[in-house]
Structure 1
């Protein structure tokens, strides 16, 4: 493999994209939970629930920051290793990514900053509205990324002029059936990730007997409810994507003839790629079945009013986040390998999309990006576990601790600038 730049580049992109998606899935999964919890706290003027929002929001902000960093490195890698894709399809494939970048960096980041630094500095409804914008733009960003990805699987809405794809129907690009079905699947599967994390963290604190303001008593129930509500829509929307398998995408000035397409697909067929796709599909379905079992068990224990008491349930819930992450990565692997040997189906092969890299350059790129993403993933996991264990008093968004005056021992709030 070290002598094959194409194999190295493909493996590198698979690893870095899977790692980046782990941040994205948690961002999408936690945002609605925080949004609706803050709405409840604002309506009821409930300080205890607002402290819970600060705790879960701190984990969200940490994960979001790491997700942005990994996304920037992903775009750098895309430009370095896959220049053939941008040369031919930059106007079509790059347009939705440009919209996503502007939305994420100019709108989402701005309002998240207002939300982070706006505690006790703006009206409670205005503060909640900031996170509403953050949540909406997070899902909008996911949609635009899937517009680009859906174009690769189901190219439509463009024409070829002088060897370059030019958009002629933005609506065909935005309404791509591959995009819409994938977006529904990603949106619902991300809820499984968020619900699993809330269950796991809450169960860990309940096991230790740490439950300030009954925060984790509510959290383990809310997380279980999210799992039960999302688990069936995930497989329903995901299964709907199989209707596109085996169908021919619309043609717009075909780059290859039907005979050439058949020859390329015959030569490009790889038992390793097919095995990876089958393995990914098996991991996805197996993980989903286990999620159903765990969520169903937790639901039954909830009905028995023992969800915050039985330690064996807590251990089970603490291990739960592994399953939706595994299902997400397995599903992504199955989706992407199904398109091979094409980057843009029937228009651009994976080999032609790759930059002209020597084996040494490909090896150096693989080593650097793989190491960088491994360190980033490990650091994020360590920080999330560390702040989750600290609880509401030690999170990134925890309110300032009160200071004690020496004269009479009375506590007064710390002054903040």
Structure 2
């Protein structure tokens, strides 16, 4: 394998996967918040303010969801084109989980989301609410099935090796209960909820800072975001800590590199060379440690910011009039994206040189393409993703600044 082709393929997957995850984090976290808001509106007999809140935040959710679907399709294309070796060797194991995820994400979730969009004033309120809860549940299931695949790549379990050297599914229960999958799911679910909660708080702070007319709506939204962010942050940090502890047994080389344990790194390098032949079995140390450190720094800032926000949100006057605090909340919106992207880089880069840990090397999983073709592919996919991210940002900002179309008093 041409080293240049391998590097270009890794950059392509890294950029497209990280770009797609920017959409997933907000979509996955917004769904339960919308469901809770609509539940409150339904239980209160169609409370006007909560109904307008659902419609407003639902519009932002749909913008992010729609463009996120496009990025997911693009990522699937590049994955199939650039990593045919992975599908050939391990597709029999994780192919089913990807297929189930597609059913949930592109069929069940999309169909019910369409029913929710078109169902306002057409379905009974209870039915319309149930549809949104189905959307929320399928979004979580979709994330879980994706992590079944990713968990297998990081900690391959439940498989056997066929006579031709390919992997076959041997123990479905082991695959579905993989600790690498379950811990990552808890971490991602908490992080996504944190992302959405701070998005609500930040956008609401913008409107309160500018004294827009829907002050009561955004007061409630800000408090919902802030008070959701605290338990979401706690869940994220707990599952992140459990993942770090699990690395000592699941991926000891990554753990040793991150903790700067030089003697352990040397021992593991010698052990892996004896098992798999001569070679460099160290991940990129600067990238692994740098991403892990950035992730922890971002979460530390989030911890201080969220704790302070909870205190401020307890005082009605501060929610309305503390304009410096409003600026801080707006500035905090990107922090979960930074933390989760850095965490993803740490998770993926830290297992190199393996695409399936200690089973399949990354260089053996890349399609047999020339560096020129891979470079062209990277340029096309990179440009397309940059355009989609820019369009999403512009549409979200425009819709967020516009505020609710309906009035709670109407």
TM-score by length of 2: 0.91
Change (3 A) 1:262 1:274: farther
Correspondence for 1:269: 282
Rounded to whole Å, the distance in 1 between the matches of 2:207 and 2:94 is 45
Correspondence for 1:351: 363
Correspondence for 1:133: 134
Correspondence for 1:58: 59
Q: Is the 8 A contact 2:152 2:356 kept in 1?
A: yes
Greater CA drift, 293-302 or 315-324: 293-302
| Unaligned residue ranges in structure 2 (runs of 5+) | 252-270
Structure ranking higher in helix proportion: 2
Correspondence for 1:41: 41
| Superposed displacement of residue 279, structure 1 | 1.1
- What is the alpha-carbon root mean square deviation over aligned residues? 1.8
1:244-393 matched pairs, under 5 angstroms = 244-247=246-249, 259=273, 261=275, 263=277, 266-270=279-283, 273-305=284-316, 306-393=318-405
| Unaligned residue ranges in structure 1 (runs of 5+) | 250-256, 403-417
Q: Is the 8 A contact 1:85 1:354 kept in 2?
A: yes
Correspondence for 1:114: 115
Q: Residue deviations 1:12-38, cap 9 Å, x none?
A: 111111110010000111111110000
Partner of 2:61, secondary structure, is helix
Change (3 A) 1:383 1:295: same
Rounded to whole Å, the distance in 2 between the matches of 1:186 and 1:180 is 10
Aligned residues: 385
Q: Residue deviations 1:170-212, cap 9 Å, x none?
A: 1111000100000000000111100110011100111111142
Q: Is the 8 A contact 2:272 2:281 kept in 1?
A: no
Correspondence for 1:410: none
Correspondence for 2:11: 11
Partner of 1:340, secondary structure, is coil
Rounded to whole Å, the distance in 2 between the matches of 1:300 and 1:223 is 13
Q: Residue deviations 1:277-334, cap 9 Å, x none?
A: 1111111111111111111221222233312211101111111111000000000011
1:67-106 matched pairs, under 5 angstroms = 67-106=68-107
Partner of 2:369, secondary structure, is coil
Rounded to whole Å, the distance in 1 between the matches of 2:275 and 2:127 is 55
